[in-house]
A and B are shown apart, each in its own frame.
Chain A
Amino acid sequence: MLLLSILLLPLLGAVILTALPNSKRQGAGRFAIAWAVIPLAFVVMMRGTRPTPEGGILASWSLDWIPSANISLSFSVDGISWVFLLLTSLVTLFALAISSRFGLNSRGYCALILVMQSMLFGVFTAGHFIPFFLCWEMTLIPSYLLIRLWGGDGAPRAAMRFFIVTLFGGVCMLLGFLALQVSVGTMDFAMLHELAANKELASGVGEALKSTGYGGHYLLTIIAICVFFGLAVKIPVFPFHAWLPDAYAEAPTPVTLLLTGLLSKMGVYGLLRIFMMIFPEVLPGFAPWLTALAVITVVLGAVAALAQTDMKRILAYSSINHLGYCVLAVAAVAASQADRTAVSSSISGVILQAFNHGIIASALFFSVGIFEQRSGGLRSIDDFGGLRAKMPVFCGLMGLALFASLGLPGLSGFVGEFLIFNGVFGLVPWAAAVSLIGLLLTAVFLLRLLRKVFHGPLPSALESWTDLTTRERLLFVPVIALIVGLGVWPQAILHCINDDILRMLNHLLPSS
């Protein structure tokens, strides 16, 4: 019941918001913030109230929807899902909180964010493809509207591209799963995992689709590629990334934060839960190509960021680069499942990196928002300079987030990247070695940003700027606390997911 209320509460909040009288405009933002605290509290409670039950499922809820086709609306939460739920509730709350700082507090805006939160909860807990896909596609509508209606000048075009490309990816994924439904009669993740673990999936597909004249292995590979495409567009992986810089740059800053902090994580989550777990039979065949794509994503994201001057675009390419590490780790696991330690290191790293990227990106985009707000919409690094003299606290906080982003030990970015590189090096050494270029260049463009904006002489136009207000500092506090806290004590996240990772390991490498 707890799970169901978590799933539906944000939707209910959205309904209440739309029913509010128009005169209460100011109240909408505050109401949404207050409302978003409740799912966060519930998510924390879900873990806090009792010891983890046997099997690792913290909560589940299920409804047989179309029994004849084996379709049920089933949702369940294990440790990994829980970490993503926590991230979703934290980042949504943060986005709502900073939205009202930036004057984005109309009823429609807040309601759409709450709808998106509900759908994200659904994606991260779905146990069957149909509810997963419904929620996955339903996140598109609020995010499209949020970009379109509250974005910059180029927003309509960017929103449209974002919508079309990701929709296209979703359709591919749907086709892949329909093929599975037709051939093996189920789209339930647990059942498909079971089939895959027993190495029956390829043969099952081949058997059922014999009329096509192709073998099961070949067909399953095509299905896997379809699913990968759907997920890759969302993360995004080269060459499906072209929608991202425009969408991130044109969206209002709190929405950009949601796009990179949460929507991209849907893809990462899908890679872990669906792609890696359902297709292990066929992955080694084409995963080297995926590894190459991931390496290109990592390096290309970093190099392209070097050429940008718009802070949002720099951070957008930086996000491509950072999530590239997650894809790299999954691709490496897919390519070679030889080493149990390396696989567990990769998977742990992916989850840690996904969580920490969400938090760090929140801090960074909030900082960009502060620049936009104070300068009336300027975001180019050439528009600023020497601000450390006027805003030492802001410089310190944003600097901390930047250093976390480039993987400084002691801050949260490091352990995830260490685990990913550790795992990838054990599985596909050359990929780890080449990706180091990305890690190096990250430092180059992030420090360049820091230098251009905060260091050097202060332009006279910025003389009147003052440091962060108390309220802005308070907004930074929880994010910075998480960045430092998880950097020193990564076990806080890792212990939540370790049992699930061991289960995944037994599933992927049953012999050992």
Chain B
Amino acid sequence: MAEALTPHLPQLLWLVPLLPMIAAGVIAMLPNGCGKLASKVALGALFGSCLIALIALVCTLAPSSAPTIATAHHWFCYGDEAVKVGVLLDPMSASMAAMVTFVAFCIFVYSTGYMETEQRFGRFFGFLSLFCGAMLMLVLANSLLLLFMAWELVGLASYLLIGFYFKKPAAAAAAQKAFITTRVGDMAFLIGMIWLYRESGTLMFYDGGTGLLETNALESLAAATTCGGLAVSAGASLLLLVGAMGKSGQVPLHTWLPDAMEGPTPVSALIHAATMVAAGVFLVARTHPIFQAAVDVDGASIALSAAAWIGGVTALYAALVAMAQTDIKRILAYSTVSQLGFMMIALGTGGVAAAMLHLICHAFFKALLFLSAGSVIHGCHDEQDIRKMGGLRKTMPKTFLVYAIGMMALSGFPFFFSGFWSKEAVLHSAQVWQGGIGPFLLAVAAALLTAFYMTRQALMVFFGSPRKPGVDHPHESPKVMLVPLYVLAAGAVLLSVIGTPMWQWFEKWMGGEAAEFDGGALFHGHALGLLGVSLAIVTVGVGASWKIYRNLSADSNAPDPLEEKLGGVWGFLVAAMGFDTLYEKAIIKPLASLACVINSIERNIFVPLMAALEGGFKLFGRLTGSTDEKGLNRGFDGVCSGMKNRASSASDAQVGRPQGYLRAIGLGMSVLLILYFWLSA
């Protein structure tokens, strides 16, 4: 079937984003009671997208250095310019589209179980479909503008889904915070995009040699300089990076992501772990040639170094904060922030393929973790505090099994888990980077902490004995929720084969080359050393955590064992290092005061000024009025009254008797006749 469809692939590719979008439109029109039908429409559309995406993936498997498909269509024209949009199929977009549709499909199926009792079940699937459509548009876009548009639309879908339980003020506030914080980044993205457009005259990625990512444009972008001698490509890519930081929750624009956990758990899994938050990473990966266009002698560019360092700081920061959290979803949220930091490190240090590999593996195991966390929350009657859980290993064995797989993949358990090899690739990229050892050290520290806090979470949730009376009757989830978990767990394990040092298929494929199996590569000194580091990380992290949290007190209110050792630092970590408070004090409050000041200026200066103008006019009016009254009118009145007197005496003659008038007419006629004859004679 794939061969038969290949010639139509450019058209079919549009269907990948459009099918879910159409489904969203259809669901929006459905009346409220049609929840079941809505979920079927959404699932059907996504299934179609998934099939096409897989066919497209097959078509890109043959190694090639050029994109398989890059189309361009006119969207609108202004002046002499035409703005074009199109779809792009290359290994990067194909793998992303396949991953998004596949993971989303699992999450959709899971949601039919998880959201079953929700009254606005249909609405939920409508929003999810809108999100999938926009996300797929984002990954398949062949134009920066189309990518930006889809980028904003996924932001909208995220807003709608975080605020899905809109009656909860916290959810409504979190939705608003997410949209506005990411919009800060979006503004930078917008101006960066416009800058690139002005300099290169195009927004297309690939357009027959004239696209942004093709040699001509890249050379001119690198050659043009702006203030301070900065290359335009570097300046614009820094702006794109800020956009990516907003979407991908990099410090300091990360504060919205933990709050986004107010949304339903499947949303956290799909949008705020697996796909949308990776959009920033994808943006940098997609536009990586621009980031790299102006590299200095060290092989580093300003924008790339910035990405590496920001990624490193974020990875470590979020891992530290995750250690001290107690909400099962917030821990995973900070872990997502941290893993996105890993991807940024890889991008900054030149490992685009490593970043993409980690992105895809992370999508599987993080979606798995969130969904099994959802299963735990479901089973514990909506309890999210891990201090009140415990011992769930016995009552929810299946959930425990899949959760353990996800947790081991994330912590980087060796050999059989995808997370191990993708993290290995990221560390490798950071290690060989010429720009400095800093990001590598940050990544190692973060990886160690990751193993630590994931073990802590697993121990507190699944081991020991139940710590809260209300949670002593947990139940296993239904099949419709478990099967997607098995599928994702299989992915978290099996994906480990595509990117090992022995068989670097993914990396070569991204670069357009064929890969060969080389078992010996594992034992080259370099790879072996890194392997040792990875093994040490996971051993130390898990071991330390096991030692501290193995014998946890049965009292759910007991302080954390680490709290006693760390003292004040612990509180600082629990408060996520005070970013929210800082923003509240440094931005939100001053902005509100500024608004009040401007408002009072409006009321106390501008309005009175206008009142003065008005008063001036009124005064002028009164002056001219009285001049009229006293000067002009008096004379006028005099004339008038004179006329009136004369008229009244004239009117005396009009007495209303026809006889009198006839007499007067007869008299007058006679006089006129006499005059006539007298004159003519």
Contacts and interface: CB of A to CB of B under 8 A. Distances in A.
Interface of A: 160-161, 164-165, 168, 239, 241-243, 245-246, 300, 303-304, 306-308, 340-345, 347-349, 386, 388-389, 392, 396, 403, 408-410, 414-415, 418-419, 421-422, 425-426, 432-433, 436, 439-440, 443-444, 447-448, 451, 454-458, 489-491, 494-495, 498, 501-502, 505
Contacts of A456: 166-169, 172
Interface in B551-600: 591-592, 594-596, 598-599
Interface string B141-181: 00001001110110010010001001111011101100110
Given A342-B198, A348-B79, A501-B78, A451 B167 contact: no
A388 B152 CA distance: 23
B614 interface: yes
Contacts of A348: 78-79
Given A344-B79, A409-B149, A505-B79, 9 more contacts: A300-B598, A303-B591, A345-B78, A386-B166, A418-B145, A425-B191, A439-B187, A454-B166, A501-B78
A440 B183 contact: yes
Interface string B62-101: 0000000000000111111100000000000000000000
A456 B169 CA distance: 5
Interface stretch (B2-10, B409-417, B602-610): B602-610
Nearest to B168: A456
Contact of A165 (B156, B190, B610): B610
A435 to B, nearest CB: 10
B421 to A, nearest CB: 37
A341 B79 contact: yes
B611 interface: yes
8 shortest interchain CB distances as A-B pairs: A344-B79, A409-B149, A242-B606, A455-B172, A307-B599, A306-B595, A307-B595, A348-B78
B166 A455 contact: yes
B180 A444 contact: yes
A447 B173 CA distance: 10
B76 A443 contact: no
A243 B606 CA distance: 9
Nearest to B187: A436
A167 B176 CA distance: 42
A498 B152 contact: no
Given A409-B149, A498-B78, A502-B80, A422 B194 contact: yes
Interface residues of B, number: 56
Interface of B: 28, 32, 75-81, 123, 145, 148-150, 152-153, 156, 159, 163, 166-169, 171-173, 175-176, 179-180, 183-184, 187, 190-191, 194-195, 197-198, 201, 591-592, 594-596, 598-599, 602, 606-607, 609-611, 613-614, 617
A147 B543 CA distance: 76
A502 B592 CA distance: 44
Contacts of B613: 164-165, 168
B198 A426 contact: yes
Contacts of B156: 403, 408
Interface of A is mostly: helix
B238 to A, nearest CB: 14
Contacts of B598: 300, 303-304, 307
B592 to A, nearest CB: 7
Contacts of A505: 79
Contacts of A458: 167
B453 to A, nearest CB: 33
Contacts of A447: 159, 176, 179-180
A436 B191 CA distance: 8
6 contacts: A303-B598, A306-B592, A307-B596, A307-B598, A454-B166, A505-B79
Contact of A340 (B79, B176, B194): B79
A421 B194 contact: yes
A262 B610 CA distance: 23
B407 to A, nearest CB: 35
A451 B153 CA distance: 19
B149 A457 contact: no
Nearest to B226: A429
Contacts of A502: 79-80
A389 B167 contact: yes
Contacts of A396: 28
Nearest to A414: B149
A440 B166 contact: no
Contacts of A409: 148-150, 152-153
A491 B614 contact: no
Contacts of B80: 340-341, 344, 502
Residue of A340, A409, A436 with most partner-chain B CB within 10 A? A409
A433 B153 contact: no
A43 to B, nearest CB: 22
Nearest to B594: A303
